Chain A
Amino acid sequence: MRIVATDCGSTTTKAILIEERDGVFRQTFRGEAPTTVEDPFADVTLGVTNAVTELQELSGYKLIADDGTIIRRASVNDVDGCDMYISTSSAGGGLQMMVAGVVREMTAESAKRAALGAGAIVMDTIASNDRRKPHEQIQRIRELRPDMVLVSGGTDGGDTKKVIEIAELIAPARPRPRFGSEFCLPLIFAGNKEARTAIERIFSGEGFALSIVDNLRPTLEREHLGPARERIHDVFLEHVMAHAPGYDKLMEWANAPIMPTPGAVGDILQTIAKGRAINVVGVDIGGATTDMFSVFGGIFNRTVSANLGMSYSISNVCAEAGMDSVLRWVHLDMDERELRNRVKNKMIRPTTIPQTLEALVFEQAVSREALRLAYVQHKAFATTLKGVQQQRTVGDAFKQEEAGKSLVDNMALDLMVASGGVLSHAPRMEQTALMMIDAFEPEGFTEIAKDSIFMMPHLGVLASVNPRAAMEVFEKDCLVILGWCVAPRGEVRAGKPAFEYTLTRGGTTLAHGQLVGGEMRLVRFALGESGTLEVRPEKGLDMGAGAGKPISREVRGGSVGIVFDARGRPLKLPHTQAERRACVEKWLKSLEVYV
């Protein structure tokens, strides 16, 4: 079995070759070439051919035919050609959508979840209670140029009036699609089934290509996003992709439907979470945006933080977090005015890379804040359903919990996957690990890994046709295991004992020690090793078994090792600058972050 997969990004097209050797799937070669969607090439397949040609040169197999297409071999014994070709795409700014629903926290939020889960960027959410006057909503709809609109609202048999009202606002506003002014704007209706006739009538006029799917919130107690997500993928292929240059050919080449890149990343993370029965958080920090994925208790969520990124949006990160928040992670002397100008210079010249250590330290400080802010947004969005009836007993009198609690629980989190330039290209693995720990503040035992060459999109599509291959490659080649973060929940007292640890393998003690509040320690534990780690937290500190209770767990080694973090959760840094700097410097030194 030989599989060629490509991901057509907005700047580069990345190709990988996956081969089955001795019954195991491995990723063997990779190649890349500039994406060719825009002028003067205006044909995405040129870039694909170039990237696959690189695979061909490296592997020695002939993969590209003389006419530029990808060769399929007749039998697995042939030397040349591949058995399958799959691709994802985020070229041209990805899939941009507008969503609408009746109540912002209910159907509108479900619609947003469906769109984000399908890999779209949600430009705006229109709801009857978004505190905008109808004409303001119309003005906003007119300004946006979405690729697609998703309208939801009302439970089945529930409200029809408000859904129709929203449809009546969208129809006269006539949002124009981004590509081609003459093509119809795809509109998906996934609301109350009793409103379908009225919706059909409203959008029967020209300018809209209406499709109707099952309600994504048939009752408030149940969210049913599948049909809407699938239809978004279909419409993406039929309407949006068909209008992008060269995609008709690409679709013909591919053995599986072409997916939006983030949608594919979400799929692979869901496959992994399900396969290993764990809770996962994945992040992809880019130049302009940060994508955050999570699977908690089998529920998948994705958010896109539109203006949190490391180059185009770096200035926005500094503005949103505040320069003080960024500089708290910096242990070197830096002039703020100078830094502000440097941030703006990076914004206007986004392709530059840090040359000095000082510049690297600053960029990594910014990335912590970008990740932290994106995670805050993600936590606020990834919640249980709102508007749901609660069942109680008399015992609940003093602990009535609200619906709509965040699903994200750092204690239950098992695996964090880092990807995106600043994380995956950091010169030292320790830097990536510490950036993730500082930004996400994981609790208890959490494994940290990074996506070696951003292979997750390819594997996401592969998972839809060959889940076993996707899982195997993900575990062996895609993820680079950095190690574990072991941190107690609760407030620590500086200098007072926080917890004790013992790392054993088959009865032999490999490491043993004690940490005091505010301390961090790195215990090297090489890749491929495994052992049992027992931790005994002090009173009031929780490692996952309850406050003050010891816990032990199997751990695997990684390129960094085990990071013991006794800084307490939530993470608090000293108030004065001098103390803070001393603290940060101590942490950086004990983790060998910058050497």
Chain B
Amino acid sequence: MAKAYTPGLKVTARTTYRVRRLLPVTGDVRVKVGELVSAETVVAETFLEGDVFPIKVAGMLGANPNELAALMLKRVGESVQVGEVLARSKGIFGMMKTEAKSTAAGTLESISDSTGMVIIRGAKTPVQVRAYVAGRVAEVIAGEGVIVETDALFVQGIFGVGGETWGPLVIAVKSHTEDLREELIVSSMKGAIVVGGARMTAGGIRRAREVGVAAVICGGIDDADLRDVLGYDLGVAVTGSEKIGITLLVTEGFGDIAMAERTFQLLLAHAGKLASVNGATQIRAGVMRPEIVVALEARGSSEIFTGGATAGILDIGTAVRIIRDPYFGFLGTVSALPEQPAVLGSGSKARVLEVALESGERVTVPRANVELSST
């Protein structure tokens, strides 16, 4: 039997979702194993080391670096304020003394006798990690963070921009083929996760940002509209840290493309519930796809999913999505898996498969150009 591995996006009605919530550096965990947390709960916090400010004190005094230690008024470890005098030159007969003032606030970390540079370490900045999804603390990793677990509806998107956010799930369109137009966004959607059908239009995105929508989820987006939102042409798909005030997530790809009906129906069924969305996408070593998580009441699910990329086995009858032109976005099932490579329209030789489209038509496409459509 011909089989092949192929990547796919996970869209599942119920799964046990486990998420690692870790600090960038070691710190304190604020919750215990078994504790129930909401999306906003701070699960761990710490302080990041302050910024470093070098000041060329010897130069300011016109002194030799090796004389600097004797001229310093502040010692290593002392705290300094902006404008505070760090060192004073001897001057001529006690007159005409020059002073070196600090240009930064923090703690004096070191004094160099070879370059005359003094290093001030700024105040530490607090870092907090929240739970992101409502659930139960399954595990505590001492000093680093926790693993939160919950039963959830889990939908992986293909691409997103903007970071983590959460809010009530609101369905703005009637069907999965309807574009998210400007007039569909109303002011009551402030802070919500808005689900559209097909493409999110430029007007729709603009209105959503005006209203203060937390996140928009659609089937597709136009490249030009994404460029307008970001203010630049995205070169490499590593996203999540954009500061655009909204998280955008597409489930299918770029262009006019409807959301897969199954995905839409799943989201529709949970309208009004609290959803967590993360737009962060990273398509390089260690693939990361954007996601929508809706926490459900615990009922015990056998399957455990921890995010990341998924893959499955391609077989006759498997539901697939074609992900490259000329059939981009078409859904269907595998109807044949020929062993021998075939010559494509482009002249290349590649292994192919035959897909029976929803319309009944059968098309042949390279195996590399399909992904599993609902796993």
A and B in contact, CB less than 8 Å: yes
Q: Does A508 contact B (CB under 8 A)?
A: no
Q: Does B121 contact A (CB under 8 A)?
A: yes
Give CA–CA (A288, B369) in the complex, Å.
19
List residues of chain B with CB within 8 A of the CB of A351. 7, 368
Known A-B contacts A135-B53, A169-B54, A353-B366; A316 and B236 likewise in contact (beta carbons under 8 Å): yes
B368 adjacent to A315 (CB under 8 Å): no
Q: Does B69 contact A (CB under 8 A)?
A: no
A168 adjacent to B346 (CB under 8 Å): no
Which residue of the partner chain B has the closest CB to A361? B346
CB distance from B200 to the nearest CB of A (A): 13
Q: Does B114 contact A (CB under 8 A)?
A: yes
List residues of chain A with CB within 8 A of the CB of B345. 355-357
A349 adjacent to B115 (CB under 8 Å): no
Q: Does B2 contact A (CB under 8 A)?
A: no
B53 adjacent to A316 (CB under 8 Å): no
Which residue of the partner chain A has the closest CB to B53? A135
B115 adjacent to A164 (CB under 8 Å): yes
Contact mask A415-457 → B, CB, 8 Å, 1/0? 0000000000111100000000000000000000000000000
Q: Which B residues, 263 to 310, have Cβ-Cβ distances below 8 Å to chain A?
A: 281, 283-286
Known A-B contacts A312-B284, A347-B237; A353 and B119 likewise in contact (beta carbons under 8 Å): no
Q: Does A21 contact B (CB under 8 A)?
A: no
B324 adjacent to A345 (CB under 8 Å): yes
Q: Which B residues, 154 to 211, have Cβ-Cβ distances below 8 Å to chain A?
A: 158-159
Known A-B contacts A345-B255, A347-B283, A427-B348; A172 and B52 likewise in contact (beta carbons under 8 Å): yes
Contact mask A313-350 → B, CB, 8 Å, 1/0? 10110111000000000000000011011111111111
Give CA–CA (A451, B54) in the complex, Å.
50
CB distance from A342 to the nearest CB of B (A): 6
Q: Does B67 contact A (CB under 8 A)?
A: no
Q: Does B371 contact A (CB under 8 A)?
A: yes
Which residue of the partner chain B has the closest CB to A344? B254
Give CA–CA (A390, B350) in the complex, Å.
57
The SS class assigned to the B binding surface is loop
Which residue of the partner chain A has the closest CB to B226? A344
Contact mask B304-323 → A, CB, 8 Å, 1/0? 00000000000000000001
Known A-B contacts A172-B119, A353-B369; A343 and B324 likewise in contact (beta carbons under 8 Å): no
Most buried by A among B234, B255, B328, B346: B346
List residues of chain A with CB within 8 A of the CB of B242. none
Give CA–CA (A348, B239) in the complex, Å.
11
List residues of chain A with CB within 8 A of the CB of B158. 348-349
Give the contact-size bracket for chain A: 35 or more
Which residue of the partner chain B has the closest CB to A11? B285
B121 adjacent to A172 (CB under 8 Å): yes
Known A-B contacts A165-B115, A168-B119, A169-B54; A312 and B236 likewise in contact (beta carbons under 8 Å): yes
CB distance from A205 to the nearest CB of B (A): 11
Give CA–CA (A348, B54) in the complex, Å.
42
Pick from A161, A320, A340: contact of B224, CB below 8 A: A340
List residues of chain A with CB within 8 A of the CB of B112. 164, 168
List residues of chain A with CB within 8 A of the CB of B33. none
List residues of chain A with CB within 8 A of the CB of B135. none
B235 adjacent to A139 (CB under 8 Å): no
Which residue of the partner chain A has the closest CB to B122? A135
Pick from A135, A164, A345, A346: contact of B51, CB below 8 A: A135
Q: Does B223 contact A (CB under 8 A)?
A: yes
Q: Does B110 contact A (CB under 8 A)?
A: yes
Q: Does B365 contact A (CB under 8 A)?
A: yes
B283 adjacent to A350 (CB under 8 Å): yes
Which residue of the partner chain A has the closest CB to B235? A316
A425 adjacent to B348 (CB under 8 Å): yes
Most buried by A among B109, B110, B121, B324: B324
B52 adjacent to A345 (CB under 8 Å): no
Q: Does A352 contact B (CB under 8 A)?
A: yes
List residues of chain A with CB within 8 A of the CB of B109. 172
A356 adjacent to B325 (CB under 8 Å): yes
Give CA–CA (A172, B368) in the complex, Å.
48
List residues of chain B with CB within 8 A of the CB of A161. 114-115
Give CA–CA (A452, B369) in the complex, Å.
24
Which residue of the partner chain A has the closest CB to B321? A349
Q: Does A594 contact B (CB under 8 A)?
A: yes
B326 adjacent to A355 (CB under 8 Å): yes
A288 adjacent to B284 (CB under 8 Å): yes
A138 adjacent to B54 (CB under 8 Å): yes
CB distance from A592 to the nearest CB of B (A): 12
Q: Does A180 contact B (CB under 8 A)?
A: no
Q: Does B117 contact A (CB under 8 A)?
A: yes
Most buried by A among B234, B326, B344: B344
Q: Does B347 contact A (CB under 8 A)?
A: yes
Q: Does B222 contact A (CB under 8 A)?
A: yes
List residues of chain A with CB within 8 A of the CB of B284. 288, 312
B52 adjacent to A138 (CB under 8 Å): yes
Q: Does A383 contact B (CB under 8 A)?
A: no
Q: Does B219 contact A (CB under 8 A)?
A: no
A359 adjacent to B235 (CB under 8 Å): no
B283 adjacent to A312 (CB under 8 Å): yes
List residues of chain A with CB within 8 A of the CB of B235. 307, 313, 315-316, 319-320
Q: Does A93 contact B (CB under 8 A)?
A: yes
B348 adjacent to A353 (CB under 8 Å): yes
Contact mask A67-88 → B, CB, 8 Å, 1/0? 0000000000000000000000
Which residue of the partner chain B has the closest CB to A162? B115
Known A-B contacts A172-B109, A348-B281; A355 and B366 likewise in contact (beta carbons under 8 Å): yes
Q: Does A387 contact B (CB under 8 A)?
A: no
B223 adjacent to A341 (CB under 8 Å): yes
Q: Does B332 contact A (CB under 8 A)?
A: no
CB distance from A459 to the nearest CB of B (A): 26
List residues of chain B with CB within 8 A of the CB of A357. 345-347
A198 adjacent to B222 (CB under 8 Å): no
Q: Does B261 contact A (CB under 8 A)?
A: no
Which residue of the partner chain A has the closest CB to B104? A135
B324 adjacent to A337 (CB under 8 Å): no
CB distance from A478 to the nearest CB of B (A): 22
Give CA–CA (A201, B53) in the complex, Å.
21
A341 adjacent to B255 (CB under 8 Å): yes
Q: Does B349 contact A (CB under 8 A)?
A: yes
Q: Does A546 contact B (CB under 8 A)?
A: no
A594 adjacent to B347 (CB under 8 Å): yes
Contact mask A146-178 → B, CB, 8 Å, 1/0? 000000000000001100110011001100000
Which residue of the partner chain A has the closest CB to B112? A168
Q: Does A10 contact B (CB under 8 A)?
A: yes
Pick from B254, B283, B325: contact of A359, CB below 8 A: B325
List residues of chain A with CB within 8 A of the CB of B326. 355-356, 359
Give CA–CA (A399, B283) in the complex, Å.
51
Q: Does B228 contact A (CB under 8 A)?
A: no
Q: Does B253 contact A (CB under 8 A)?
A: yes
Known A-B contacts A168-B115, A355-B366; A92 and B285 likewise in contact (beta carbons under 8 Å): yes
A353 adjacent to B368 (CB under 8 Å): yes
B54 adjacent to A134 (CB under 8 Å): yes
A139 adjacent to B51 (CB under 8 Å): yes
Which residue of the partner chain B has the closest CB to A91? B285
List residues of chain B with CB within 8 A of the CB of A275. none
Give CA–CA (A198, B65) in the complex, Å.
14
Give CA–CA (A135, B109) in the complex, Å.
14
Known A-B contacts A165-B117, A172-B110; A345 and B253 likewise in contact (beta carbons under 8 Å): yes
Give CA–CA (A313, B234) in the complex, Å.
10
A337 adjacent to B222 (CB under 8 Å): yes
Give CA–CA (A353, B366) in the complex, Å.
7
Known A-B contacts A93-B285, A349-B158, A352-B368; A164 and B114 likewise in contact (beta carbons under 8 Å): yes
Q: Does B233 contact A (CB under 8 A)?
A: yes
Q: Which B residues, 309 to 364, have Cβ-Cβ distances below 8 Å to chain A?
A: 323-326, 328, 344-350
Sample of 5 A–B contacts (CB below 8 Å) = A138-B54, A160-B114, A165-B115, A312-B284, A356-B344
Knowing that A165-B117, A307-B236, A426-B348 are A-B contacts, what are 10 other residue pairs whose CB atoms are under 8 Å apart, sorted by A's residue number?
A172-B109, A288-B236, A312-B283, A315-B233, A345-B253, A345-B323, A347-B236, A356-B345, A425-B348, A427-B346
Closest 3 CB pairs of A and B: A316-B235, A427-B347, A360-B346
